[in-house]
Chain A
Amino acid sequence: MLSYTLKRLLMAIPTLLIVITISFFLMRVAPGGPFDGERQLPPEIEANLKAAYHLDEPLPMQYLRYMGNLLEGDFGPSFKYKDFSVTELIMQGFPVSLEIGGLAILLALLVGLPLGIAAAIRRNSTVDYLVMGTALTGIAVPNFVIAPIFALVFGVLLAWLPAGGWNGGAWPNLVLPVVALSIQQIAYIARMMRASMIETLGSHFIRTARAKGLSETEVIWRHAIRPAMLPVVSYLGPAIAGIITGSVVIEQIFGIPGIGRYFVQGALNRDYTLVMGTVVFYGVLIVLMNLIVDLLYSALDPQIRYDD
């Protein structure tokens, strides 16, 4: 196990190197640059701007410069947020996104898993239909619809909670964004858990367990749930990486100072250093999450082994 983990961590280095290299050139050959805006700049001024960010050098030179700085842990200054380095932006925003995203995932698991299991056990009953119908509504309504509705209804019309703002992370400010972010995840997790649970309950080893005279509760708790979690866990790896790095929609609508906005806005602004920063950060998270998922596989189902 340990040597497997070490090997995977070692392999992360070439993986990330490839990601960085492809992303760097992908971004640079895309049309539109960081200074293409409503105000078209005179050539002299554009030249000054390019020189200030070393964009006047040949592309391979820029790549080498970037990699060199990266080795020293320097992601460079953001183009748009000139007073901040990319590292500062990510380090200031990530704790916020982690808090909102982490709470949302937790909520989604706490609600989604039991709902999915209950629906599977009482398959085709009223409970099942009710749970799955609600889950479907959660999936069918995208979060750019849910979030404004929440802000309007609970923030403005009923005035139960703040309509937006971070306020240093006070809990009333957390409720709406966390719930809005988790609704879709609850729905996903409940749907997947139900399907997988049904699958597992029908499998041979569960029948064997039942036949041994174990009670239903025991069968479900001791034998069915763990293997049934597999697909949910496979899904959760990348999903967690996505959610704790923030959602641009939720952050904009609720005024949350997280890093989700940087993924989309960085790209829209052609803020090259910021985009690269988010790519590297997200890449590391993906590699780690997928490693954790793979390790969890063997914990959930002892039959899964990795050939070292």
Chain B
Amino acid sequence: MTSDSKPYSGEQRDGAPLPAGGPKPPPGPDPTPDPRAADAPVGESLAKDAWRRLTQNRAAMASLGLLIAIVVVCIAGPWFLPWGLAEVDWNAFGTGPTLENAHYLGTDANGRDLLTRVLYGGRVSLSVALVASFVSLVIGVLYGAISGYVGGRVDSLMMRFVDIMYSLPFMFLVILLMVVFGRNIFLIYAAIGAVEWLDMARIVRGQTLALKRREFIEAAHALGVRDSKIVTRHLIPNAIGPVIVYVTLTVPKVILLESFLSFLGLGVQEPLTSWGVLISEGVDMMESAPWMLLVPSFFLAATLFCLNFLGDGLRDALDPKTR
């Protein structure tokens, strides 16, 4: 097998040390990452290093650019559009994209400008995605890593708690939150984050169970590195691949979950809207007014594509094994 035909030759792109062919490499603890090296104040250089690798990934950089563009357009765009969020054009109910009256992407069934609504909706959906994914990431990763690393009775109890959270009827949980805290958009974020961390926790725990018996973790242990440090410096970074991928999968989930909450009356209230809500409105009009489905779907899809390539790039950049 020649080097060219190696299917995973991508690994070499970053100059990762491949074991030399021929003679057997000396057996021993995984050379990367070196547990002692991690003790050194390397935070800044790690971040710099990761950033450097990220900038070299063209797909990731293009995605980052487009993502920033989408965010900027959603934030600033509505100021430059002639129509307001709730403003009704009494002469244009459900019309298709047209230059007339500046309805560039058409209007909805209430005569409101669709582009304007999609941009406002983007603010909601993107912030839900950001906050809920972040909450689920932080809780899920820490919870999962601790549960898996400590193991034994603690692991067992922590995972039974996860089982309980899975089984509770989500809808009533949210309705009750609303009763207690009132209608509040931050509550939506919290509620969504509060359920989405469960999968993340189980995935990270699974990875941790596999990693903690590996030589480099045991070596770190033997060297007397503190548990908290082992978890944050060794376990989590080594589980980062599935974590990042799962985050990119969480984003579409939470954006759509928000539309379900809106259906229950627990999400955003009119005239405010979100991509999920716009898409579910559009499905109804699929045959007669396809733009109502296509426009918000396009924005959502573009965002997801970008997040995905960015996620892959980040994964590569952060991967301790290829560093």
On A, residues with C-beta under 8 Å from B are: 8, 11, 14-16, 18-19, 22-23, 26-27, 29-31, 120-124, 132-133, 136-137, 139-142, 144-145, 148-149, 152, 188, 191-192, 194-196, 198-199, 201-204, 207-208, 210-212, 215-216, 227, 230-231, 233-235, 237-238, 241, 263-264, 267, 275, 278-279, 282-283, 286-287, 290, 293-294, 297, 301, 303-307
Contacts and interface: CB of A to CB of B under 8 A. Distances in A.
B117 interface: no
A198 B33 CA distance: 17
B167 A297 contact: no
Q: Specify the main secondary structure of chain A where it touches its partner.
A: helix
Given A26-B173, A227-B210, A144 B283 contact: yes
Nearest to A127: B7
A26 B172 contact: yes
B262 interface: no
A205 B47 CA distance: 27
Given A26-B169, A211-B25, A279-B167, 8 more contacts: A19-B167, A23-B168, A121-B8, A145-B283, A188-B249, A202-B16, A230-B207, A307-B151
B52 interface: no
Nearest to B198: A238
B297 A301 contact: no
B18 interface: yes
A202 B18 CA distance: 9
Interface stretch (B73-81, B97-105, B157-165): B157-165
Contacts of A30: 172, 175-176, 179
Contacts of B304: 136, 139-140
A85 to B, nearest CB: 20
Contacts, number: 200
A226 to B, nearest CB: 11
A308 to B, nearest CB: 9
A231 B203 contact: yes
B205 interface: yes
Interface in B176-229: 176, 179, 198-199, 202-203, 205-207, 209-210, 213-214
A290 B179 contact: no
Contact of A211 (B13, B24, B166, B293): B24
Nearest to B298: A140
B202 A142 contact: no
A149 B286 contact: yes
Is the contact region of chain B dominated by helix, strand, or loop, or is it mixed? helix
B99 to A, nearest CB: 28
Interface string B132-168: 0000000000000000000110001001101110111
A227 B241 CA distance: 14
Contacts of B210: 227, 230, 297, 301, 303-304
A149 B279 CA distance: 13
Contact of A264 (B171, B241, B249): B171
Contact of A286 (B163, B244, B286): B163
Contacts of B152: 307
Contacts of A27: 169, 172
A237 B168 CA distance: 17
B236 to A, nearest CB: 14
Contact of A238 (B18, B202, B248, B252): B202
Contact of B30 (A142, A204, A216, A230): A204
A77 B107 CA distance: 47
B301 interface: yes
A15 B199 CA distance: 18
Interface in B222-280: 241-242, 244-246, 248-249, 252, 256, 276, 279-280
A11 B209 contact: no
A190 B286 CA distance: 29
